[in-house]
Amino acid sequence: MPNRCIKEGDNPDLTKERKTCTFDTDELTANLYGSRNNMERRREITKKISADPDFADPIPHDFLSREKCIEATAKKTKAVVQRGSEFCDVTNYYEMLHLINEAIGIGGYPLALHYGMFLPALEGQAEKELTDDIIPRAKNLEVIGAYAQTEMGHGTNLRELETTATYDKATQEFIINTPTRSAMKWWPGNLGKMSNYAVVTCQLFIDGRKIGPHNFLVQLRCEKTHEPLPGIIVGDIGPKMAFDTNDNGFLALDNIRVPRKNMLMKHAKVSPDGVYTPPMHAKLNYGTMVYVRAHMLYAHGQFLATAAIVATRYSAVRRQGRIEHGVPEVQILDYQTQQHRIFPQIARAYAIIFTYMDIKDQYDAMIKGIAEGQTDLLPDLHAITSGLKSVVTHMAGLGIEQCRMACGGHGYSDASGLPKLYGVQIGGCTYEGENMVMLQQTARYLMKAVASALQGKPLSHSVAYFGKKSSGKSRIGKEGGDIAREHEAMLEALEHAACRLSVEASQMWEKRGRGGETKERAWNGVTVEMNRAARVHTRVFMARSFHRRVTSSPPSIRPVLTDLLSLYLHYECVDMAHHLLEDGFCSGEQIRYLKSRLYEDLTTLRPNAVSLVDSFDQSDRELNSVLGRRDGNVYEALYQWARKSELNYTDVLPAVQKYVMPMMEENRSKL
Ligand SMILES: CCCCC/C=C\C/C=C\C/C=C\C/C=C\C/C=C/C(=O)SCCNC(=O)CCNC(=O)[C@H](O)C(C)(C)COP(=O)(O)OP(=O)(O)OC[C@H]1O[C@@H](n2cnc3c(N)ncnc32)[C@H](O)[C@@H]1OP(=O)(O)O
Ligand SMILES: Cc1cc2nc3c(=O)[nH]c(=O)nc-3n(C[C@H](O)[C@H](O)[C@H](O)COP(=O)(O)OP(=O)(O)OC[C@H]3O[C@@H](n4cnc5c(N)ncnc54)[C@H](O)[C@@H]3O)c2cc1C
């Protein structure tokens, strides 16, 4: 069966791996990206960008200062903007995303938040009077914007943000002010140096009454000189763990006046005479965050896929140690521990991307509903995207780190691309709402679902399984080798665990309440359990999504995806075995059975491992990893990469000449 990546001159071990492929890698790639045409388009973009001198990096960014990296990234951004249509359909979200990844990379660029949040916030929340003016100019990039919500003192708890927007009826303006040091906006991406406007989240005050957080469009810099406007202090917050090429910024506003129409008023409104009309759903103002949380799934699935590609290809190329005496050194991918480290990451990357596809459909349906005046899909989507954002970012972070360690010493080098990848990806656990806090949003929803289920009320999409009758004992290991039924038995066991944990958390909460605690204090006493229930529920949702995609996939790729799904479900069940055992739903014998099936899965997947990661179809440019390169010619490339280090420009470093040599000389003369 064809693996389409084989080329002459490649590392022979990688070629050998590709020859054992049992499916058509292009079929799987096309399935992953929605169609064969989408796959071809991605490849065309990659090909054109790779050959274009505007996007060449003579010196890898690993060896440049932050300032130089920002300069190089800004230059490439300009080229993408001016020449984008030479490479792709610039109106196609996924083509643009791919173009940016290929041309610029993942560490941030001047327009990341402009496209990622500023425009979506205006499009989703502003009304016509404002959008007619600002959106054409923003699309034309006369206006570049950031999404400035988080402050130095508050990010998670939006209700306590301190920046104020006070309505002045006399002039029909809002006065926007930063009252304290901790009220300074702090963290927003591209706020520091690139943006001349921002959507700023402020507490709305009318007639001395605090109404709550709302968004306002504020001009920060002169459109001609790019200097900050009077009353505005803005700058970069300094170096951070990663996102080196993003100017996360600070902002203080000194009683800046903006016209009434600058409030984003599609949902909540303030009339000229200061009458406030609330939105049709209280949290519609938070819509941009729901949008980003949903779309983060795709990005983080791809981040984990990158790490899995690097670790799998490198493990096929690297030979070290022997499994039996008297035979040549083995590919490290033959070690069971290596497979157990890496293969679940491959499966999870697929699971995340497939889950994203389901969520995207739900998101689109919700937006359509809102346009027709219905918000009934929002609570379910908010609850599940809050959980998914948290589980997926955590899962991807752990997975990338496993892949990095699986590459041994070379994984610790920036040449592997993995330290930077981890730095960028792990930020997702924090931004768009810290994970522990967002899981509580999911848990709150589960508590309502428990109550509805007990009362026999209808249950919405993500919690529909709360209404199923549990069989009391798991069917795991009792399905006589029927794979489809085995998969169903594992899904049922996970659903049982999520439901039980939710019910138990609800009972613990209630008990504390009966013991005299307020509802809120009682909640804080059970949040670890609440979040546990939310995580398991979210993992059930992912497992169901993966299962649905596999069972509806084309027959040509269904066998390999079924193997991958088996590994995924066995791994998830073993990882959550304590939840399955706790109430006796599963026995110890059943967990031992799951483990033995998992080890069989590792062996089954071994011949397809490289082909499964090849099917993610990430180019060498996107991978940005000496270890993960498609041709597997790792060692020579590693040496050539190291040669580019600034430290190697001279044989004797000035620092050595200035301090180390005189010290050696002094010591020598003492003898
Ligand atoms: C080329 C194109 C590129 C496109 C790129 C696309 C995507 C971009 C992806 C990545 C961008 C790339 C790189 C950029 C990297 C980083 C960007 C980062 C940006 C940011 O971080 S912006 C700041 C984000 N901040 C937060 O997320 C804050 C988190 N806090 C909150 O959301 C809220 O404070 C809270 C935790 C939800 C609590 O809110 P609160 O008002 O107190 O409400 P509650 O009392 O808790 O709940 C009451 C009620 O409301 C429900 N609720 C809450 N939120 C929502 C919601 N959003 N929607 C619907 N319902 C909601 C809640 O469930 C409660 O319901 P009840 O029924 O129980 O009453
Ligand atoms: C790379 C990056 C990019 C960002 N980009 C933007 C941007 O473009 N625009 C923007 O506005 N912001 C941005 N942010 C800010 C980001 O959204 C916030 O940092 C994030 O929402 C977390 O809020 P916080 O910093 O207030 O964390 P905190 O709330 O202070 O969290 C600290 C700890 O307190 C815990 N905690 C807080 N509240 C609770 C609770 N109720 N229950 C239990 N535990 C709790 C948390 O779990 C965590 O362990 C960015 C941040 C990063 C790292």
With residue 494 as reference, give the H or E element that holds it. Answer: helix 483-514
Do 176 and 255 touch, CB atoms closer than 8 A? Answer: yes
As a whole number of angstroms, the distance between CA 293 and CA 151 comes to 20
Residue 537 and residue 548 in contact, taking contact as beta carbons nearer than 8 Å = no
Read off the pLDDT of residues 513-566 as tens digits, 9 standing for 90 and up: 999 999 999 999 999 999 999 999 999 999 999 999 999 999 999 999 999 999
For residue 516, count CB atoms less than 10 angstroms from its CB and return exposed for 0-12, middle for 13-18, buried for 19 or more.
Answer: exposed
**189 in a labelled binding site:** yes
The CATH fold of domain 123-277: Butyryl-CoA Dehydrogenase, subunit A; domain 2 (2.40.110)
Q: Where in the chain is the domain with CATH 1.20.140.10?
A: 283-632
User: Which of the residues 432, 492, 572, 622 is marked catalytic?
Assistant: 432
Interval between CA 187 and ligand 2 midpoint (Å): 9
- E-strand stretches of 102-208: 145-148, 164-168, 173-177, 185-186, 197-206
Known active-site residue 432? yes
Q: How far apart are CA 385 and CA 296, in angstroms?
A: 10
Q: Could you give the CA distance from residue 642 to residue 194 in angstroms, rounded to a whole number?
A: 32
3 state SS of 186: strand
b/e code 338-360 from CB counts within 10 Å (16+ = b): bbbbbbbbbbbbbbbbbbbbbbe
Structure tokens of 382? 């908010």
494 CB-near residues (< 8 Å, 6+ apart): 536, 539, 540, 543, 572, 573, 576, 580
22/444 Cα distance (integer angstroms): 45
Q: C-alpha angle with apex 211: 209 to 213, nearest 5 degrees? A: 140
Specify which residues 185 forms β-bridges with: 151, 251
Q: How far is CA 423 from CA 129, 394, 419, in A?
A: 41, 13, 6
* Atom 7 of ligand 2: nearest residue by CA position: 188
- The answer on whether 150 is annotated among ligand-binding residues is yes
Question: Residue 293: CB within 6 Å of ligand 1?
Answer: no
CA angle 514, 518, 521 (to 5 degrees): 110
Within 126-216, residue ranges assigned H as helices are 128-139
Per-residue pLDDT at 471? 82
- Average pLDDT of the chain, as a whole number: 97
Question: Judging by DSSP bridges, how do beta strands 145-148 and 173-177 pair with one another?
Answer: unpaired
What pLDDT, on a 0 to 100 scale, did the predictor assign at position 653?
Answer: 96
Ligand 2, CB within 6 Å, residue ranges: 113, 147-150, 154-156, 187-189, 243, 248, 427, 430-434, 436-437
pLDDT at 58: 85
pLDDT tens digits, residue range 494-515? 999 999 999 999 999 999 999 9
* Low-confidence residues of the chain: pLDDT under 70: none
Q: Cα 251 from chain centroid?
A: 26
- Options 3.40.50.1000, 1.20.140.10, 1.25.40.10, 1.10.1240.10; CATH for 283-632 is 1.20.140.10
Burial of 395 by CB count in 10 Å (0-12 exposed, 13-18 middle, 19+ buried)?
Answer: buried
Which stretch of DSSP H or E encloses residue 434?
A: none
Start-end ranges of CATH 2.40.110.10 in the chain? 123-277
- Beta carbon of 189 within 6 Å of any ligand 1 atom: yes
Percentage of the chain modeled with pLDDT above 90: 97
> What is the enclosing helix (H) or strand (E) of 319?
none
ipTM field: 0.97
Ligand 1 centroid – CA 283 distance (Å): 9
